[in-house]
Structures are given as C-alpha cells and as structure tokens.
Structure 1
C-alpha cells in the first residue's frame, strides 16, 4: 500500500520527534479527508485524499518552527488541506460541463437578485433558466463539491493572477488580503441574505462540522437534497461575490 511505503521511507529519513508528530496527528488527516470528501463527487476516493494529506502532514512535521508562534495543529491543518486541494486541482475532478452549468446558475441568481430584491427561490431560478425544477435540482446535485472561490476567479483576461504576488513570500497570507479588500464583509452579507434553511445548513456544515448525512437528519431531508441545497447556497454566495471580484 503506497501510504505504508511512504510512512516507512519517512521513518528512515526523519527524526524521532518528527515521526512522533506524524503518528500523533495522523487521525487529523483522516478527519479532514472525510469532511472534504463529503462535498466532492463520488469519483474522488477518500483513500487518495488521506494519502496526499499524510504527505502534507509529513511536510508540516519537517518544516514546523516552534518559535513562529503558531501551534503545530494549526500549521499542519493548513498543509494537509493544501496538499489535498492541490491534488484535486491537478486531477480536475469537476467536469467542465458541470462548471459551465454552475456559472450559468450563478449568473441567473445574480440577475434575479438585482431584479427581485431578494434571494430567488429554486422555482424562480429554474423558470428563468427555462428548466423543469427537477432538472435544475439535478444540476445542483451534479455540482457537489462546488467551491466558494477558485484561483482563476482572480485571473485577468491575460491569465495573470492577483494572488501570484503571495506565492514567493511564505509569510504572506492571501486570505488577509482578501479580507482587506472587503471579501469578509461581502461574504457576511451574503450569508445573512441566504434563505433560512440554507443558512442553517452552512452553519451546521462549516461551524459544527456535521457531514451531509447528519445535516439531512437535522433538516429532515435526504443526503442528496442537502448536497443540492449546499450547491445552491454556494451559487448564491458566488453570485454575491461577482460584484466584488468584478467577474
């Protein structure tokens, strides 16, 4: 098994202290992987995420500076998530048609919000897109794993990213720059404007860290319906952010 081979090689090359850290925080990798895979297509294997996450943990153990004023768990969590996201980006797991569908939904939601002055219902979005409600909901279900932000949201027409400046500087935090640019305020306003059920869903998922099945039990709906509602909430928030990103 590749993970076991990687661990064996790691033990041969790293200090006992680093090995102890990896052993202690290995369950964190599994926790992050299972939380992440819950909103990804079924084609993504959780074992693959665990394997790349374990490599991220090993890197964190090697590079951790106890004098930097950051707890190891916080540092490791960032590296683990980063390794998993890099793997997903490289694999291009979401079909192009699905991304295209979600962009159309976002544009429609954005237009309807300006026209109606409130968050449009599923029926209103489906009607505006000239789709049966069932087909619209299927599109949402297919988009399980749709993200709030992608790096290419910040690219200009020439493919130059506004975040490139942060790559060379390991002390820079792009999320702080996003917050400074008004991202946090726009996001808060967008969350507050969500329909009540979607607002509860987002709180249960991101604050309470419940999985989709658990959220379904709370809301009294199926896991697939939770996935649809999550995709729709993300589409609403991305529609709000269009004014901020200019895209």
Structure 2
C-alpha cells in the first residue's frame, strides 16, 4: 500500500478504529522496551503513553512523508514512551556518575590512541575490578537509555534516540540532521560485534535473550556488549557535540575573540 493510500485510509477511519488497528504495534514496542527496564516499571504506563503517541502520529501523518504510516507511527510511539520514562527516571544518581566516569575514560583513550578503547585499559585507568566494570556496563544497558549528546549533569542523560523534527526551526533541523549523520557514522565505526548487537536490538527488535541465542553467548554477555556500545557511542557523540560547539564559536567570532584575549 502506498503512503498516499494509507493516509486516505486513515482519514476514513475513526480514532477508535485507528487505535484498535495499530494497538498491537504499541504493545510490541512497549514489551521490547521492557526487555531493558526493571520490574518496577509498569508496562501499562508505557502502553498508555504509546497510545498517545499513536494518536499524535495519525493526526500529523501527511502524504508527503516517504515512510509508511507504521514506520512513522513506530517512531512517535517509541518517542512518547521514552518521554514517559524521562519524566519518571528511577536510575540512582550513583549509576549516572559511574557511567559518566567510564564515558570520559573511553573518550580519553580513543582520543589518545585513535583506536577503540580496550576493556583492560579502561579498567586500569578507572582503578576498578573487571567485575565492577561489567556491572557498570550492565547498568548502561538496563538503565534508562543514555543520552548521546546532552551535557553531563547530575540528572543523567535523555533517551537514546534522535528526536522527531516536527515543529523545529530551520537551524534546529540542520543541527538535528548533523547529529543524525554523526550518530550513523559512529555506529558504523563500532567494533563488529557491538555493531551487530545494536542492529539486532534496534533494527530487528530482538531482545537480549534472543540476541544471545544468535551470537551463542549468555544474555548477561549481550547486556555487557550492548552497554559497551552505548558508552562508546556516548563518548564519541559528546566529542562531536563539543567539536560542533567549537565550530559554532569560530563562526560567530567567539572563538577568535577567546584566542585574542588569551
């Protein structure tokens, strides 16, 4: 079915019919997210938020979109659920602090060597045991999704996603598109196994147990690999963000003024 045909069909449907037809998509996304969240998170809260995202998707879907309605709705549904998680962040501050420390060490090593930061070197610089390091990686995977571009602060990061561009100003759209390309490049430069886990998890929507069966490893090991990928991506995206800020300063003369004053 073409995008235009889908749009006309949606126009003919009542809101109740639309919600009923796409409710399985909402529940599927909710249970996929639950695979990385603790039992204290109520799946019904995610479903309720996802239904709101579904209604917004139907209202905003337009014939000039290149994606199908299901693809577009999936983005809006997932975004609404992540917004709900942001508002009720249950992750202890100690977890955010440890993740920031690991991220910074990974950045330092990769900036110095130009290569992927090895676990042994990260552990050595942090002065922790391998067991403690693996627990931090597990927290990175199962905690609220890490922000890849937000500044570090006591509240931790926002969600692992690229925001929808509806309602953005032209400059915001350019910046968002730049971040999207930087994220794609960063994922493409991950170690092969981390790339595969990210693909299976975010594109194929397999859960950690299913990915473990594909790779022939335990679910806990997949959790660690996923955490490694998230930390590595966050380290690289923070570096990208700082580089973009530096370029912006030079473009406005702030960078030149700072050098003259020094």
Whether contact under 8 Å (1:140, 1:228) holds in the other structure is yes
Task: Work out which of the residue numbers 93, 110, 113 in structure 2 matches 1:113.
Answer: 110
Give runs of aligned pairs for residues 1-247 of structure 1, distance below 5 A.
17-61=14-58, 63-64=59-60, 67=63, 69=65, 71-143=68-140, 144-145=142-143, 147-149=145-147, 152-153=150-151, 170=167, 176-178=173-175, 180-181=177-178, 183-246=179-242
Secondary structure of the residue aligned to 2:81 is: helix
Secondary structure of the residue aligned to 1:40 is: coil
1:96 Cα deviation after fit: 1.5
**For residues 73 and 115 of structure 2, what CA distance do their matches in structure 1 show?**
41
Number of residues of Structure 1 aligned to a counterpart in Structure 2: 221
Distance 1:131 1:153, change over 3 A: same
TM-score in terms of structure 1 length: 0.76
Q: Which runs of 5+ in 2 are unaligned?
A: 1-11, 154-162, 246-262
1:37 Cα deviation after fit: 1.9
1:66 Cα deviation after fit: 5.1
Distance 1:26 1:219, change over 3 A: same
Q: Which runs of 5+ in 1 are unaligned?
A: 1-14, 156-165
Distance 1:154 1:173, change over 3 A: farther
1:40 Cα deviation after fit: 2.6
Secondary structure of the residue aligned to 1:153 is: coil
Whether contact under 8 Å (1:140, 1:231) holds in the other structure is yes
Deviations 1:176-223 (A, max 9, x none): 434543x34433442233222212111211222211111011122221
Distance 1:117 1:90, change over 3 A: same
Whether contact under 8 Å (1:64, 1:72) holds in the other structure is no
Whether contact under 8 Å (1:205, 1:211) holds in the other structure is yes
Whether contact under 8 Å (1:148, 1:237) holds in the other structure is no
1:175 Cα deviation after fit: 8.3
Secondary structure of the residue aligned to 2:151 is: helix
C-alpha RMSD of the superposition: 3.1
